[in-house]
Structure 1
Amino acid sequence: MYQNARFQQYAVPILSVILGILIGAILMLSFGFNPITGYTAMIKGALFTPFYFGQTLRLMAPLIVIALGFAVANTAGFFNIGVAGQVLVGWFASVSISYVFPELPGFILLPICILAGMAAGAIWAGIAGFLRAYFGTSEVIVTIMLNHTAFHVVNYLIRNVLTENSDSSPRISEAASLRIPFLTTLTDNSTIHGGIFISIIMVFVVWMLINKTTFGFEFRSVGMNPHAADYAGMNAKKNIILAMLLSGALAGLGGAMEGLGNFQNIFTQGAVPTIGFDGMGVALLGASNPLGILFSSFLFSVLKTGGTSMPLVSGAPNEIVDIVIALIIFFVGANYIIRLLLAKTKPVKKKEVA
């Protein structure tokens, strides 16, 4: 039973979460904090007031699509570590377009801004896909370098194109905003926005794409063995580029949600957005499965949003949350440890007595 692949597929992320939370509790105890009080404050702070519940859902929205982007590339056999840079260029492009066409009505301007963010993310990821497909370069190295490039280029453009030597662009127009007044009022003026609905739709779109279409089958085939896929008549180069384009488009969509929904502008960054790396963690915890990503994004959002309440109630520093998240990802990455433990607990069959 314990060797069953499907059982292990679900057991690894669940046990990773449990182990991360347990070790986090041990750390709190060792420094004199009450872990029950700390975790209770976290859950209440994330879910039990309209404002923070809205903030939890707001954070889920970009995490879901960024994680889906990473998962698509991962399914095709690529480690797109550049999602953070793709988020940033998508954020910049979506906000910039809103300034170019300020007079357009919302039902036209908002989709254009969103598509601009997706296109920018796709182009940025497509560079790495093209180089991998035709020159065999490492997508890990290329996307890391593209992260740094995006960081410096976007900061320069904010200061010298969008503004006159300012670190923050003007607020976008209402027509370009993803905010929905009804949701804002319902959640006591949280920054929740319509991106949460887009993200949930994208979960099912990506699931259908990967599991029910020819494209998805070819992505999986290329991911398992690109040479065999080529031999079977699939165009491995085309699928490598397509997978990276789709991955970048989804990451760029996450960036558009940050610009049009959460912050309503763009500002200079001290580093590439950490939400890009959080999205990678969500994808890894969700085993690159779209439905798993939906649940893991909710967990990450609860940890991140509720973690801000921990110091106020229990005194435990909110850095504990980052440690717990890091531990969860560690156990997911080192899943052989959990698989070994599961194997050791396999029940031994009693020998029949003759």
Structure 2
Amino acid sequence: MVQGMAGGVSPQESLKPRTRTDKIILTVFLAFATVTAAATMATLALIENTSASEAVSVAIGGLALSFTLAGIPALIHYRRKGLVRWRRILLWATLASLASIIATAIGMVIANDYYPDLFEFPQLSAAEFAVVATSTTLALFVAFLLMILFVLVLSFGVVGVMCAAERRLTPWILRRIIQGGGSGQLSLYDMTLKWLFDIPDVLDPRTLTINPSERRTCVRWQDLKVPVAWQMLFGIVLAIYVSFNPFFTDRSPSALFQVFSLLSSAAFVLPLMILPWFIFKKLGASIRGQAKEFALYRGIRARVLQSYFAIGTIVLLVRISISKIELTTFLEGLSSFLFVLLISSTMCTFVYFNYFENELADDIVAGFKDSDSKEGP
């Protein structure tokens, strides 16, 4: 049942153009992911003595390339539909590039004070120094700007693939939850969904309703706090688990930095674990209970947390491994990983709220109303 529908399908466009764009995004992603996976396997088969870290690095690189290429059609389709205008985003990217140059210059000055021999500057005249300084500044500005735009396109790819899947699957998931409440014997689909959303046995899923919140009209930094905080928390737990895992026998500083380098390269995957929760919060999907309604958003969040945060295991791993890892090395690697994750998670969350959330919610509501008793997505 749909209650209080907060605005229908976006007046800017109908569902069909977005569905066509979804097909393009998914086709590009799956095609290049398949090609890069095959190329990776062939390369690893031909090259002898390939280490596990090299194999993982190649796989992550192929996945990042696939998401980036999928981000191109997503960016072309959605760039003019954001709540924050594209020109302002480019202005932010420009200011961020300038700030990065200033931070780099300050870092070099500080490093030169502590390590005078780290940088060697030849004797230059005033004119030569001006030319070198100007060219270096321009080169750094272009490099930082291109890096920011690359992360933006990658974020469009990650969020575009995620939303394309959600637009197709979420109406079916909601309908399937309702159907599972009326069937005598639960199918594997029904049991999986009931477990995933942590639905109590005492509730009747047939009372599920959706009550979408008002369409978002702006993106505030406060809106990004909760999703980004969850992604950072998941990243910390993942970093602790991987770096302290007793199955990794090499505990040298170089090996630990290599682990954190791989984690940093894969930081763009973590938003795929967190952001899908928030469409259920936007939809207000809930099941009626005797005391209060059971929100699917809270259910799936609780289930993921229960499955992911094995507190006892983490504590045990820390106790086993902390004596074998230099704390300074671990903190340096963790800090670099969290910095990359902060940028990646903030960018993906902003792209999701700014470009995708409103239309995704509208399309899911429309799909939920029109869905019939299908046996598959």
TM-score, with structure 2 as normaliser: 0.28
TM-score, scaled to structure 1: 0.29
Please identify the structure whose Cα radius of gyration is greater: 2
Higher relative contact order (CA 8 A, sep 6+): 1
